[in-house]
Structure 1
Amino acid sequence: MSVLSARLRASFTAVGVPVLACGIALAGLGAWTASGRAGSPPHVAVTKAYVYQSFGSTPETAAFFTLTNDGGSADRLVHIASTDTVAPPRLSEHHMTFSGGAYRQPVDSVTVPAGDGLTMTPHGIDVTVRPKGTWRPGEEVSFTLRFAQGKPLKIRAVVVRPGAQTDRLPRP
């Protein structure tokens, strides 16, 4: 009888565990679908937008956006335009060299994950811009963000000094 019991236990373990795991996954997918988010389109919004004031003879500066996506699928930021810049703004990513130097590398697009978002920083993804004229702190710069799936967003970014507190900026 113990041999039969051992075989039944082994069979249950071999079959039961995968069936149980599939049941749990199916229950999770059912809950996600019931919530109405399964397959829903992306819904991207900008909750913070600022641009650094440029200094001296440096022709470029950087803009930063905090993007949220409370939709059910990811989207990609694929293009940025501005009438307040000399050249079209460019998405870029900062990298460090082994010797401690930094450089920017252009990127074609960035993902805005579903149910999450993207926060641009001076040490990661940002937008390289060349201002028309001199921007002063408190001024606003207009941008249009275009996405692979969602509607374009027209926003205004506040000019701040590099290193300034940005946690109290008004919503764009």
Structure 2
Amino acid sequence: MKRPSLPSFASLPPLSAVAVPLLTCLVTLGALTAWTAGGHAGRPAEVTIPEGRVLIPSGAEATAAFFTLRNTGGADDVLTGVTGPTGHRAMLSRTVDIGHNARSMAMVRGATVPAGGALTMTPTTLDVMVSPPPRLAPGDRLTFTLHFRHSPPRTVRARAVRPGS
């Protein structure tokens, strides 16, 4: 009966052939751990929204609300929709030029809130269209819920103001 032979040390790879890749992996793992522990691996979006403004309606079709969304996180987020006060439809909309000094309103599916930045709604850019417009007096407040792709929904109030103020 023949005994199984043991491998000889001559058939093993040299120590440097094993040590170099192993040392490289350990240094890389240590660097990634330090990078993450130092807060550099990225932070999720952190969206805050102070009180907004809603225009006192001048017509019977719709009015608009405006908010400034600040993202102090390390990743972009996307505003995907808005829920308005009960009995009123709220939609993200944007003013678009249609030529010959004319503008129109277009519905928007989403708007990016940049990491470390802000998204500011204005009458000539992005807004929240509210239809039908509620009856409002200066100082009244409406509640809206803003929905995001990555962050939880945020409920915020908008104070009624006269157009132009």
Structure 1 residue ranges without an equivalent (≥5) = 1-31, 165-172
- Partner amino acid, structure 1, of 2:98: T
Residue in structure 2 matched with residue 120 of structure 1 by the alignment: 121
Structure 2 partner of 1:160: 161
Q: Residue type matched to 1:109 in 2?
A: G
Unaligned runs of 5+ in 2: 1-34
| Residue in 2 that maps onto 1:61 | 63
Deviations 1:31-64 (A, max 9, x none): x867525321000001341110101x43201100
Any conservation in 1 of the 2:51–2:159 contact (CA below 8 Å)? no
| Structure 1: 4+ residue segments shifted above 4 A | 32-35
The answer (yes or no) to whether the contact 1:90–1:127 under 8 Å persists in 2 is: yes
Q: Give the alignment's TM-score, normalised by structure 1.
A: 0.70
Distance 2:94 2:40 in 1: 31
Structure 1 stretch displaced more, 67-76 or 122-131: 122-131
Structure 2 partner of 1:12: none
User: For residues 140 and 86 of structure 2, what CA distance do their matches in structure 1 show?
Assistant: 11
Paired position in structure 1 for 2:74: 72
Using the alignment, how far apart are the partners of 2:91 and 2:40 within structure 1?
Answer: 32
Structure 1 residue aligned with 2:7: none
- CA distance in structure 2 between the aligned counterparts of 1:113 and 1:64, rounded to whole angstroms: 17
Q: Measured at CA, do residues 149 and 47 of structure 1 come closer, stay the same or move farther in structure 2, by a change above 3 Å?
A: same
Letter of the 1:124 counterpart: T
Q: Distance in 2 between the 1:133 and 1:107 partners?
A: 22
Determine the structure 2 residue equivalent to 1:44.
47
Structure number with bigger Rg: 2
Aligned residues of 1:91 and 1:126 also touching (Cα < 8 A): yes
State the AA in 1 paired with 2:45.
P
Q: Alignment RMSD, CA only?
A: 2.3
Aligned partner of 1:134 in structure 2 is: 135
Stretch deviating more after TM superposition (78-87 or 36-45): 78-87
What's the offset of the Cα at 1:162?
A: 0.6
Identity value in percent: 39
Query: Aligned pair count?
Result: 134
1:95/1:105 contact within 8 Å kept: yes
Paired with 1:160 and 1:54, the residues of 2 have a C-alpha distance of 9
Of 37-46 and 106-115, deviating more is 37-46
Q: Does 1:81 align with 2:83?
A: yes
